[in-house]
C-alpha cells in the first residue's frame, strides 16, 4: 500500500492519466478536482486487490506557513507549503506539524474537512512581531509570536495552543459565537476543549491520562507555573510573583464580571472547561470520542451567537440525547458535568 498526501497539481496529473490503466484513480482525482473551490488537497491511498488497483481518496490538509521576520505585517514570506520539506526553523516546522495534527482530529474523528468544512487552506504566520507575547486567529490565518524570552517562549511550542487558534476558525465558520461575555467565554472554552483534544488525539491519551493543560511548555523556567490554564483544575495553572495567581474560576459562583478581556472571556472559560472535563472523566476512555462528539455536534448545531452558559449546556444535553438517546449514560454525564460547575440545564430537560 502506498499512502501519500497529494497536492492539487498532482491530482490534476492523476486525473489526466490513462483512464484505462488507472480508471479508479483518475476518476477519483477528477471527482476531487471538481469539488475544489478553488484548491484542495486530498490523501490518496492506493492498494492492490487481486488484479485491481484500488484508489481511495480522503481529506488532507493544505498548509502554508509564512515568516513575518519579526515585523507586525501579515502574511509574511512563505517558507513552507503542503508537502514541502522541513525548513529547519523550529517555529515554522512546529506550526506545520501542529496544523496537521489539528486537521487530523477534525477530519478523522468529526469528518470535518478543515476550518470551514470545505477544505479551506490552513495558513499560519510565525515570528510575528518583536518579542511578541501572543498567538491569535485573525479571521484568515493563525499568527504566532516568539514570546519575550522572560515569561513566554515561542507559542508554537504548544500543540494545544495551535489547536486552540485553529478552533477559533472553526467556531467562526460554524456557530459564530460572539466574543464577549458568556458567549465569548464559551468561544474560548471551545478552543481550549478542542486544543486539548488535538494534543490528546496526537498522543493517544485517555481522559484520565491527559494533563488537561493549555499551553504547557510556553513559560520559561523562571516562571512559577505549568501552563496558561488548567481545564481540570481552573485557577491552579500558575502562581508567580510577577504574573500573580491564575484567576480562572472553576464554578459559576466565581464568575468574574469585568470590562477587561472582552468581559473576562479567558477567565470565565474555566467554568465550561471544567464542565467538559467532568463529562469526559465520567464517560472515560478517549475524550475526543463521546464527550468531544457531543461538543462538536453542539458547536456545529443551531447555537445562537450570543448563547449563554445555560443555553449552551442545554444544547449539549440535546446533542447527547440526539446521538446517544435521551436515557443514555452520555446525557447523564453531560447533565452532571454542568451541575458540577453550577450551571443548571433549563427545566431539567435533555
Active site residue 165: yes
Which residue in the set 222, 329, 336, 349 belongs to the binding site for other proteins (CB under 8 A)?
222
Sheet-wide strand order for 63-67: 77-81, 63-67, 122-126, 142-144, 135-137
Please report how many Cα atoms fall inside a 13 Å half-sphere around the Cα of residue 93, on the Cβ side.
Answer: 7
Residue list 154-173, contact with other proteins (CB under 8 A): 155, 161, 164-165, 168
Residue list 172-211, contact with other proteins (CB under 8 A): 179-180, 182, 187-188, 191
Which residue in the set 206, 211, 300, 344 belongs to the binding site for other proteins (CB under 8 A)?
344
2 or 242: CB nearest other proteins: 242
Strand pairing report for 229-230 and 142-144? unpaired
Instruction: Candidates 73-81, 133-141, 296-304, 324-332: pick the segment binding other proteins (CB under 8 A).
Output: 133-141
Q: Tell me the β-bridge partners of 6.
A: 42
Residue that is written with C-alpha cell 472553576 in the block: 250
Residue that is written with C-alpha cell 506539524 in the block: 97
- Report d(CA 348, CA 286) in Å as an integer: 27
Smallest distance from the beta carbon of 141 to other proteins, in angstroms?
A: 11
Smallest distance from the beta carbon of 152 to other proteins, in angstroms?
A: 7
* Per-residue DSSP letter, 107: I
How far apart are the two ends of the chain, measured CA to CA in Å? 46
Active site residue 140: no
Does 288 participate in binding other proteins (rule CB under 8 A)?
no
Residue 291 C-alpha cell reads as 464527550
Instruction: Please identify every residue annotated as catalytic.
Output: 165, 266
The site for other proteins (CB under 8 A) is made up of 133-139, 150-152, 155, 161, 164-165, 168, 179-180, 182, 187-188, 191, 215, 218, 222-223, 228-229, 240-244, 247-249, 252-262, 264-269, 308-310, 313, 342-344
Amino acid at each position: 500500500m502506498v499512502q501519500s498526501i497529494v497536492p492539487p497539481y498532482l491530482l490534476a496529473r492523476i486525473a489526466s492519466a490513462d483512464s484505462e490503466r488507472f480508471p479508479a484513480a483518475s476518476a477519483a482525482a477528477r471527482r476531487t478536482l471538481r469539488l475544489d473551490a478553488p484548491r484542495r488537497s486530498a490523501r490518496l491511498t492506493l492498494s492492490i486487490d487481486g488484479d485491481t488497483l484500488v484508489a481511495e481518496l480522503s481529506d488532507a490538509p493544505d498548509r502554508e506557513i509564512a515568516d513575518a521576520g519579526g515585523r507586525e505585517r501579515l502574511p509574511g514570506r512563505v517558507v513552507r507549503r503542503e508537502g514541502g520539506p522541513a525548513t529547519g526553523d523550529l517555529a515554522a516546522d512546529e506550526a506545520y506539524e501542529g496544523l496537521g495534527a489539528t486537521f487530523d482530529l477534525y477530519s478523522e474523528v468529526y469528518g470535518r474537512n478543515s476550518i470551514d468544512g470545505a477544505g479551506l487552506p490552513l495558513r499560519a504566520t510565525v515570528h510575528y512581531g518583536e518579542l511578541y507575547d501572543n498567538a491569535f486567529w485573525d479571521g484568515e490565518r493563525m499568527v504566532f509570536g516568539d514570546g519575550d524570552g522572560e515569561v513566554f517562549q515561542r507559542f508554537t511550542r504548544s500543540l494545544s495552543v495551535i489547536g486552540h487558534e485553529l478552533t477559533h476558525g472553526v467556531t467562526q465558520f460554524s456557530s459564530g459565537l460572539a466574543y464577549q461575555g458568556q458567549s465569548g467565554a464559551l468561544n474560548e472554552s471551545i478552543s481550549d476543549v478542542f486544543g486539548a483534544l488535538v494534543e490528546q488525539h496526537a498522543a493517544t491519551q485517555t481522559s484520565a491520562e491527559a494533563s488537561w493543560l493549555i499551553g504547557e511548555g510556553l513559560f520559561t523556567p523562571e516562571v512559577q507555573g505549568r501552563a496558561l490554564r488548567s481545564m481540570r483544575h481552573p485557577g491552579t495553572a500558575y502562581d508567580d510573583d510577577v504574573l500573580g495567581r491564575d484567576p480562572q474560576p472553576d464554578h459559576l459562583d466565581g464568575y468574574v464580571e469585568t470590562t477587561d478581556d472582552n468581559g473576562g472571556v479567558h477567565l470565565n472559560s474555566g467554568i465550561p472547561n471544567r464542565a467538559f472535563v467532568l463529562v469526559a472523566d465520567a464517560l472515560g476512555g478517549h475524550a475526543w470520542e463521546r464527550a468531544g462528539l457531543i461538543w462538536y455536534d453542539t458547536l456545529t448545531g443551531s447555537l445562537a451567537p450570543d448563547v449563554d452558559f445555560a443555553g449552551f449546556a442545554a444544547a449539549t444535553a440535546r446533542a447527547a440525547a440526539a446521538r446517544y438517546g435521551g436515557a443514555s449514560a452520555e446525557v447523564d454525564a453531560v447533565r452532571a458535568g454542568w451541575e458540577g460547575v453550577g450551571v443548571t440545564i433549563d427545566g431539567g430537560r435533555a
